[in-house]
Amino acid sequence: MSAREQILGKVRHALAGVEPGYDVPAAPRIAELPDVVAHFAERVADYRAVVERCTEADLPARVAAALPSGARVVVPDGLSVEVPGGVLDRGFTAHELDTFAAVVTEARVGIAETGTIVLDHGPGQGRRAISLVPDLHVCIVRADQVVPDVPDALPLLAPGTNDGRPLTWISGPSATSDIELDRVEGVHGPRTLHVLIVG
């Protein structure tokens, strides 16, 4: 028996006496936001990420400017913008990915209330590893991908999860305060997150 089957068996046992059709209360909703994209940009910046807004026409120049000069940059298949000197991910190992200074990806959704970016690893987003190993992550979020809160994001993420793709939830650069409550960035992922909001 697999761990999954064991867990589901325990859940079924725990629910044995529960009436079917129990209504789960709706999640509390945030107040309507006057400018969802501006709220998203503010919340992402609160996490110490670099946030810029630009037009679609300005995007290639903004991506190039966000990258260190001469840096090795890994890019996923299906990325909608040309990255100067970008190297297409060929399934690099973690050790090989560590030789890249940066990665450029697109996002699936941005959540305004939490300042969270979610990747479902579809086209333009690549494998989880490429968004976690290089020290700089330049992430492109289009304004029409920004939703007010987590319940608004879940239906948009369902197709990817139904296809078996993982989700990566990003709230600022990787950071921890495990030791002496001192904040250390870059321990579990990129030390720097640069978000380009298009539109």
pLDDT, residue 117, reads: 97
Task: Return d(Cα 157, Cα 110) in angstroms, integer.
Answer: 11
**Interval 21-75: pLDDT, tens:** 767 677 677 778 889 999 999 999 998 999 999 999 999 999 999 999 999 999 9
**Interval 122-165: pLDDT, tens:** 999 999 999 999 999 999 999 999 999 999 999 999 999 999 99
pLDDT, residue 178, reads: 57
The strand pairing partners of 41, in sequence order, are: none
Provide mean pLDDT across the span 111-128: 95
Task: Return d(Cα 123, Cα 117) in angstroms, integer.
Answer: 16
pLDDT, residue 65, reads: 96
HEC string of the chain?
CCHHHHHHHHHHHHCCCCCCCCCCCCCCCCCCCCCHHHHHHHHHHHCCCEEEEECCCCHHHHHHHHCCCCCCEEECCCCCCCCCCEEECCCCCHHHHCCCCEEEEECCEEECCCCEEEECCCCCCCCHHHHHCCCEEEEEEEHHHEECCHHHHHHHHHHHHHCCCCCEEECCCCEECCCCCCCEECCCCCCEEEEEEEC
Q: What's the distance, CA 56 to chain centroid?
A: 20
Confidence of residue 17 (pLDDT cuts 50, 70, 90): confident
Phi-psi region of 186 (alpha: psi -120 to 50; beta: other; left: phi over 0): left
Q: Which residue has the higher pLDDT, 179 or 5?
A: 5
34-198, what's its fold? Rossmann fold (3.40.50)
Confidence of residue 183 (pLDDT cuts 50, 70, 90): low
Q: The tokens of 158 are what?
A: 């369902």
Tell me what the pLDDT averaged over the chain comes to: 89
Confidence of residue 187 (pLDDT cuts 50, 70, 90): low
